[in-house]
Structure 1
């Protein structure tokens, strides 16, 4: 079934770079991947972001987001998944980033939507985002697609600025990744609870290295 216009506009708003949460300040370890040579051109960027999509989004963040939306009005279940998400922020920078984005999204919800803030920033961005999507009655599959778009776009733009890559190279990378997202969302939706995994030591190490990186443009 096609998404209706009202839902589409809400999802576009939540995935827009104009949403004032400050996501553009963070690279989520991409800047360190560039510093150590892991990402250095278009081909290596594609390989890196394909792994982000499969290992980070499909295996953990997307299925957790699905469950948080599903249980947005079930306090016990929501708290369980929100706590698990918070625990998956393995470095100081990743936790600080998630909490700052959550704080800014809560401020936007209160000021623009005139809705009460229910999820505290301490749990991080995804629980706040999920609870909002649940309250707006947005379709979970569509939300997962929009969230994937936002994460990938933000990280690719960090690479475009820092490698640096040209704008057209960035667009080719994004177009390639967008072709993978529908299947990735299907995979994430199909995972059972015991199949979720946030064990990404290399990703966490990149984030921890960024905390001590001498020259940097981004906050994570």
Structure 2
């Protein structure tokens, strides 16, 4: 029997499922340039990881993804937003990261729902799905950013390396920032899109030419 995904606990559980490590987007294979940052010595420990991820969330991809989700959930044109999302990808690998994960997300959702798979950059694929579950935009944005940060913490635990407890402390320390960003982004528009995480962008570009690597990005 099909259970409708309509707000409340059911909608929340659907969103948590889509954003969980078990959902087959292949997120574990992407480090968003963190592998290069660790190899270069820019991130060496838990404190460095927390600082790096805070900047990406507040000034880089995290913020822009949050704004794109808010715009999409308000019903703005997905095709135009998808073009913006691609233009905001600062390197070939980051474009690959958002497009591959978005396509995998759409395919997995289609397998669950029977709907047509519409490949979009990841934040827009999530926003398109979330629009049908009746959850507040801020909640969707917060859980998306948490999943984004959680995946990068997992990458840091594996590659720096860090202990599991240290990784969880880093993730917990990011919770207040994620709350602030989700509140700020909920009513943000296209004019609020911006990025200033230049060192992270340069790291992502340098990752493309690493001789030995374990992550796709």
TM-score of the two chains, using structure 2 as the length reference: 0.90
The number of equivalent residue pairs is: 211
Structure whose residues are more often helix by fraction: 1
CA RMSD, Structure 1 to Structure 2 (Å): 1.7
Q: Distance in 1 between matches of 2:97 and 2:61?
A: 17
Give the conservation status (yes or no) of the 8 Å contact 1:145–1:182. yes
| Structure 1 residues 20-169: aligned runs within 5 Å | 20-57=24-61, 59-71=63-75, 77-117=77-117, 119=118, 121=119, 123-169=120-166
What is the SS of the residue equivalent to 2:186? helix
Summarize deviations over 1:146-184 as a string: whole Å, max 9, x none: 101110001111111011111111011011112322112
Q: Distance in 2 between matches of 1:174 and 1:105?
A: 23
What is the SS of the residue equivalent to 1:8? helix
Give the conservation status (yes or no) of the 8 Å contact 1:15–1:147. yes
Q: Distance in 2 between matches of 1:108 and 1:59?
A: 25
Q: Distance in 1 between matches of 2:58 and 2:182?
A: 10
TM-score of the two chains, using structure 1 as the length reference: 0.89
Identify if the C-alpha distance between structure 1 residues 59 and 149 changes in structure 2 by more than 3 Å, giving closer, same or farther: closer
Give the conservation status (yes or no) of the 8 Å contact 1:39–1:45. yes
Q: Distance in 2 between matches of 1:158 and 1:59?
A: 20
Give the conservation status (yes or no) of the 8 Å contact 1:15–1:150. yes
Q: Distance in 1 between matches of 2:86 and 2:214?
A: 25
Give the conservation status (yes or no) of the 8 Å contact 2:8–2:134. no
Summarize deviations over 1:35-66 as a string: whole Å, max 9, x none: 11110011111111111121125642201111
Q: After TM superposition, which residue ranges in structure 1, 4 or more long, deviate above 4 angstroms? A: none
Q: Distance in 2 between matches of 1:58 and 1:24?
A: 17
Q: Distance in 1 between matches of 2:196 and 2:54?
A: 17
Structure 2 residues without counterparts, runs of 5 or longer = 1-6
Structure 1 residues without counterparts, runs of 5 or longer = none
